Amino acid sequence: MIKVSGLTKDYGSRRAINNLNFDCQQGEIVGFLGPNGAGKTTTMRILTGYMPPSDGEAIVAGYDVVEESLEVRKRVGYLPETVPLYHDMIVFDYLKYMGELRHVPDVDERVEEALDMVGLINRSNGYVGNLSKGMKQRVGLAQALLHRPEVLILDEPTIGLDPGQVVEVRELIREIGRERTVLLSTHLLNEAQNLCDRVLIINKGKIVAEDTTENLQARLLGAERVVVRVRGEADELASSIKSVKGVRKVETLDDGGVEFEFASGKDLRPEVARQVIKDGYDLLELRPLGMSLEEIFLELTNNEGKK
């Protein structure tokens, strides 16, 4: 649905994105993650036909963003980062105007439908300018959904929403992402983790990692770390665990627990459990310590910065 190859954009002499390659399938929600100035907005603006790339090409919904820009724009729903709206318009009229520009059939009903989806049906007769920030955000989202686009591109869709709304909007995105393609940018790693099928991490205009969140964690660690806790005194626990073949980096924690590592792929937890019980301990806990996406993110973006 989205296919990007060699995409590059220069603003004057500053290179905002450099030779990006990725694709997104239908029915997939892809998260675009990266620190400020990484090039997320720039990439999205190219994909939505707002501006042409300096080099490379992008195919969205089967059309080239430069050569067949109008065809792309017909099929894409876009929520820009700044959520631009006409503040002096009535909410309903605003959405109707955007719908008419997109030749939406039965536009009145579709506006109602979109307003209903974002939970703003009771504000449809008010001025856009009088809405709260989060409500404006949702009007922007309604605008992006209005024409039932094949591809949805959302630049930080949940920013400025209250926690309840965040949950609802994520639910909505998940719903849409079942059949259509969604590319969303975010700084919230837990959002990427629980919403996206796949994550692209971009830093300084380059993609530094691309995978499912689970795989990213595993790949980056190269090993899995586990903490073990037993009842009572456990002076000998560490040596007991060390005796299992394949276990590495055994450390005793202050609270008496023991952490150890094994190469990812060969799970040593059963062996360790057996050994611990055989040595007469009451096993209370055997818990894998996943690296959070935060840590992965910092690791990737910092390493890249040092190079």
Ligand X SMILES: Nc1ncnc2c1ncn2[C@@H]1O[C@H](COP(=O)(O)OP(=O)(O)OP(=O)(O)O)[C@@H](O)[C@H]1O
Where on the chain is the footprint of ligand X (CB under 6 A)? 11, 14, 16, 34, 36-42, 81
Long-range contacts of 266-272 (CB under 8 A, 24+ apart): 267/224, 268/244, 269/226, 271/244, 271/245, 271/246, 272/226, 272/228, 272/241, 272/244, 272/247
Min dist. Cβ of residue 54 to another protein (A): 9
In one letter, which amino acid is 228? V
Which residues, 6+ apart, have CB-to-CB distance to 61 below 8 Å?
Answer: 1, 2, 71, 72, 75, 76, 150, 151
Q: Which does 103 bind (CB under 5 to 8 A by kind): Mg ion, ligand X, another protein, none?
A: another protein
* Cβ(17)–Cβ(7) below 8 Å: yes
Whole-angstrom distance, CA of residue 293 vs CA of residue 299:
10
By CB under 8 A, tell whether 102 contacts another protein.
Answer: yes
Whole-angstrom distance, CA of residue 276 vs CA of residue 272:
6
Min dist. Cβ of residue 136 to another protein (A): 12
Q: Which does 157 bind (CB under 5 to 8 A by kind): Mg ion, ligand X, another protein, none?
A: none
Min dist. Cβ of residue 80 to ligand X (A): 11
The residues with which 119 forms a beta bridge, in sequence order, are none
By CB under 8 A, tell whether 138 contacts another protein.
Answer: no
Min dist. Cβ of residue 125 to Mg ion (A): 32
| 20-28, 100-108, 276-284, 294-302 -> range binding another protein (CB under 8 A) | 100-108
| 50-58, 169-177, 201-209, 291-299 -> range binding another protein (CB under 8 A) | 50-58
Min dist. Cβ of residue 57 to ligand X (A): 18
Interface positions with Mg ion (CB under 5 A): 40-41, 81
In one letter, which amino acid is 291? M
The helix (H) or strand (E) run that includes residue 132 is none
Strands 181-186 and 151-155, sheet pairing: parallel
Which residues, 6+ apart, have CB-to-CB distance to 65 below 8 Å?
Answer: 46, 47, 48, 49, 52, 53, 57, 58, 59, 72
Residue of 68, 65, 122, 66 lying closest to 91 (CA atoms): 122
By CB under 8 A, tell whether 13 contacts another protein.
Answer: no
Q: Which is nearer to ligand X, 124 or 158 (CB)?
A: 158
Q: Which is nearer to another protein, 128 or 176 (CB)?
A: 128
Q: Which is nearer to another protein, 101 or 298 (CB)?
A: 101
Residues touching another protein: how many (CB under 8 A)? Answer: 28
By CB under 8 A, tell whether 76 contacts another protein.
Answer: yes
Task: Return the structure tokens found at 135.
Answer: 């409500």
By CB under 8 A, tell whether 88 contacts another protein.
Answer: yes
By CB under 8 A, tell whether 80 contacts another protein.
Answer: yes
Whole-angstrom distance, CA of residue 70 vs CA of residue 67:
9
Residue of 82, 35, 44 lying closest to 182 (CA atoms): 44
Q: Which does 36 bind (CB under 5 to 8 A by kind): Mg ion, another protein, ligand X, none?
A: ligand X
By CB under 8 A, tell whether 101 contacts another protein.
Answer: yes
By CB under 8 A, tell whether 86 contacts another protein.
Answer: yes
Contact residues for another protein (CB under 8 A)? 11, 45, 48-52, 70-71, 73-74, 76, 78, 80, 82, 84-89, 97-98, 100-103, 143
